[in-house]
Structure 1
Amino acid sequence: MGQFGIVVGQLVGFLIMLMVGYGCVRLKLYGTVALNGMCALLLNVLIPVLVFANAMDGATRADLAANWGVMLLTALMYALLALVFFALAWALRLKGERGRIFQAALIFGNAGFLGIPLIMALFPGHGAIYVALMSIVDQSILWTYGVYLCEPIRGAAASSVRPSVGMRAAGLLRRFVNPAFIGIMLALALILMGVRVPELVLSPLHTIGAMATPMSLIYLGGLFATTRWWSVLRRYELYVGLTAKMILFPIGLYALLTMTPLAGVLPVTHDMTVMIAMIAGLPTMTTIAMFCGRRGNMPEYATGFVLVSTLFSLVSLAVVSSVIM
C-alpha cells in the first residue's frame, strides 16, 4: 500500500495542475495563442534543460559501468513496446495518423512526471542513478521515434516532385535534431569524458527544469478546454490498448525478465526489473499531446489518451504493483 500511496499522491498533484490549466482557459485568462507559446517554451527550453540537468546530476562514468543494465532494460522495453503496439495497430486495422498516434500514446509512458518521482520514492538508494540512465535512453527514443510517429503523413499528391535522397536525409535530420535530443547527447558526451558540471551551474538548471512539470500540466489542462478530447471515448482501440499497455505488458515483461533464461544473462538486479516493469505500465506521456498539438495532428485523440490513461493508472498501477512486488 505504500507504493499505492505514492502513486495516488502523484496523480492528485497531476490532476490539480490539469484543473488549473483548464480553469484558466475557461475563465478566458488566456487562450490558444498563449497555449502555443507555452508549448514552444516547453519543447525548446524547459524539457531539454530538465533532461540535461537530471542526466548530469546523477551519473558518472563509474555509474554507467556499474548500472548499464538499466539502459539495456530500457532499450529492451521500448523495442518490445514498439513491436507489440505496431502489431496491435495492424491487428485493429488502424491506419495513417490514427495508427501512428495510437502507437505513440501506448509506447511512451509518463516517465518524466510520474515515473521519476515514483522511482525516487521506491528506490531511495539507487533511484537517482536509475533515473539518469533511464532518461538517456527514454528521451533519445521519445525525441526521435516519438517525434516521427506524431508527424502528419504527407499524401502522395502533396508534391509533384519526388525529393532527392539528400533532401529526404536533411528532412530526417531536421525532425530528429531538436533541443531535447541535443541536450541528451551533450550530457552523455560530458559523462563519458568525465566532465562534471559545477553545482553553481547545475542548481539553476534544475530550477529551470523543475518548471517543466507544472507548466506542461497546465498547458495540457488548457488543451483539454480547447479540444474535443472526449471523442476518444468512442474509439474501441482505447480500451484494448490501455488494457494491453498498462496491465498485460508490464506483468508480461516482469515475467519475461524473471522466469526465463534472460534473468541469468542480463546484468540486471531485481530492483532494476521491478523499476522497468513499473515504467512500462505508466500512462501516456503528456509530450505526445504536445507533439500532436503543435502540428494540428489529431490533438484531441492524443489528449484523450493522456487523460483517460492517467485516470486508468490509478487502478492499473495498483494491479501491477500487487503482482510484481
Structure 2
Amino acid sequence: MGQFGVMIGQLVGFLIMLMVGYGCVRLRFYGQTALDGMCSLLLNVLIPVLVFSNAVDGADRAQLAANWGVMLLTAVMYALLILVFWLVAKLLRLKGSRSHVFQAALIFGNAGFIGIPLIMALWPQNGAIYVALMSIIDQTLLWTYGVWLCEPVDETTGGNAIGARGAVVNGSVNGAGSVGNAGSASNAANGGSPAIVRPSPGTRVLGLLKRFVNPAFVGVMLALILILLGVKVPDIILKPLHTIGNMATPMSLIYLGGLFALTKWWGVLKRYELYAGLVAKMIAFPLAFYALLTALTGALPQLPITHDMVLMITVIAGLPTMTTIAMFTGRKNNMPEYAVGFVLVSTLFSLASLTIVSAVVF
C-alpha cells in the first residue's frame, strides 16, 4: 500500500474513533468528568510516552545528525504560518482576543493527537526521529507564543495580552474560570480603573521557564539526551512503554468525539473567518509550502532536506487546530467556545482536506 493509501486508512480510522467517542457521550456512558481525566492522561502520560518510546527505539546519533533538517523545516513552517495568519487576521479586520485566538487556532496544528500517529504510520523507520526533532520547535513556540496568543487582550492598552505569567495547563476546556475577577471587582468598588500589575523581569523569566516544564517537552528532551549519549533502553522497558504510548491515538480521537457531544461549538459556524481560515491553513498553505520546498530543494540540493522530510512537514502544515489551544483559552475564559469550535470543525474538515493534500503530494 502506498503512502496515499496509508493516509486514507488512517483518516477512516480517525472518523470511526471520533464517532465512538461521540456515541459514548450521547449514550451517557460517561461525561465531562471522564473527558477531563482523558485530557489529563493524554497530555501528561500517553503522548509523552508515545514520543519517548518511539524516539529511543533503535535511534542513534548518526540517524539524529542525518535528520536535523527537520528542525530547520519546522522553524521555517512556523515562521511562515505566523506571518501569513497575522496578515490574514489583519485583512479580515479581526481585533483583540478574537484576532489572537484566530491566529493561535491556525498556526498550531494538532501534532500530538493526529500528527504523530500519521507520521508514525507513513514513515515507520524515521517517523520517531522526525517527531522528536519537530517537537523541539513545536513545543517551544506553543508554550511561549501560543500561550501569549491565548491570553485575554486588554483593549484599553493597545491590544496587549494580559496575564503574561500563564501556567502550564492540566485542566479541561470547560473547567477553568476567569482570572483576576476579584481584583477587578475591588478596584471597581473603589471607583478606580483596574490596576495592571507588571511582573518583574525575574518573575517573567521564571514563568517562561515553567512553561517548558511539561511532560511532552521533558519526554522529547530526555529521548534526545539518551540518543546523544548512546544509551540504549532495554526491550523489557521499551515494550510496556510502547503499549502505553499506543493508547494515545484511539483515546485522543475518542476524547475529541466526546467534545463534539458536550460543547456548544456551533456558534463558530457563524464566523466568516472560520471558512477563510480553514481553506487557507489546511489546503492552500500546505500545497503552497510543498511547492516552495520542492523548488528550493531542487535549486539547492546541498540543503540537509530529503523528499520524505518535505512530505512530512507538508502533512504537519495541514493539520487541524491543536486541542491544547482550546485548553489554554478555557483556562483564562478567553473565548473558549470559539477555540473549541475551531478544534472540532477543523478536525472534521481535516478528513477532507488531508485527503486532498495527500492526493496532490503523494
TM exceeding 0.5: yes
After TM superposition, the structure 1 = structure 2 runs for residues 33-182 of structure 1, keeping only pairs within 5 Å, are: 33-57=33-57, 59-152=59-152, 153-154=161-162, 159-182=195-218
Of 293, 311, 318 in structure 1, the residue corresponding to residue 348 of structure 2 is 311
1:77 positional shift: 1.3
For residue 303 of structure 1, what is the amino acid of its counterpart? V
Identity of aligned residues (%): 74
1:188 positional shift: 1.8
Distance in 2 (CA, whole Å) between partners of 1:58 and 1:296 is 43
Distance in 1 (CA, whole Å) between partners of 2:199 and 2:139 is 29
Query: Unpaired segments of 5 or more residues in structure 1?
Result: none
Query: Unpaired segments of 5 or more residues in structure 2?
Result: 153-160, 164-183, 185-192
1:158 positional shift: 5.9
Secondary structure at the aligned position of 1:186 is classed as helix
1:231 positional shift: 1.0
Are residues 1:187 and 2:223 paired? yes
After TM superposition, the structure 1 = structure 2 runs for residues 194-233 of structure 1, keeping only pairs within 5 Å, are: 194-233=230-269
Q: 1:46 to 1:8 in 2, by over 3 A?
A: same
Are residues 1:270 and 2:270 paired? no
For residue 196 of structure 1, what is the amino acid of its counterpart? K
For residue 107 of structure 2, what is the amino acid of its counterpart? I
Distance in 2 (CA, whole Å) between partners of 1:132 and 1:312 is 27
Aligned-residue RMSD, C-alpha: 2.8
User: Which range is displaced more, 92-101 or 235-244?
Assistant: 92-101
Cα deviation per residue 1:65-96 (whole Å; 9 max; x = unaligned)? 11211222122212211221222223323333
Distance in 1 (CA, whole Å) between partners of 2:197 and 2:336 is 30
Cα deviation per residue 1:247-291 (whole Å; 9 max; x = unaligned)? 211121122212247643521122222222222112223333344
- TM-score calculated relative to the size of structure 2: 0.79
1:234 positional shift: 0.9
Q: 1:248 to 1:189 in 2, by over 3 A?
A: same
Distance in 2 (CA, whole Å) between partners of 1:294 and 1:20 is 27
User: Which range is displaced more, 58-67 or 256-265?
Assistant: 256-265
Are residues 1:255 and 2:295 paired? no
Distance in 1 (CA, whole Å) between partners of 2:296 and 2:90 is 28
Greater helix share, 1 or 2?
1
Secondary structure at the aligned position of 1:237 is classed as helix
Distance in 1 (CA, whole Å) between partners of 2:194 and 2:229 is 46
User: Which range is displaced more, 127-136 or 278-287?
Assistant: 127-136
Contact 1:274 1:324 in 2 (8 A): yes
Are residues 1:239 and 2:275 paired? yes
Distance in 2 (CA, whole Å) between partners of 1:242 and 1:130 is 25
Larger Rg: 2
In the alignment, which residue of structure 2 is the partner of 1:299?
Answer: 336
Q: 1:154 to 1:190 in 2, by over 3 A?
A: same
Distance in 1 (CA, whole Å) between partners of 2:80 and 2:323 is 21
Secondary structure at the aligned position of 1:264 is classed as coil
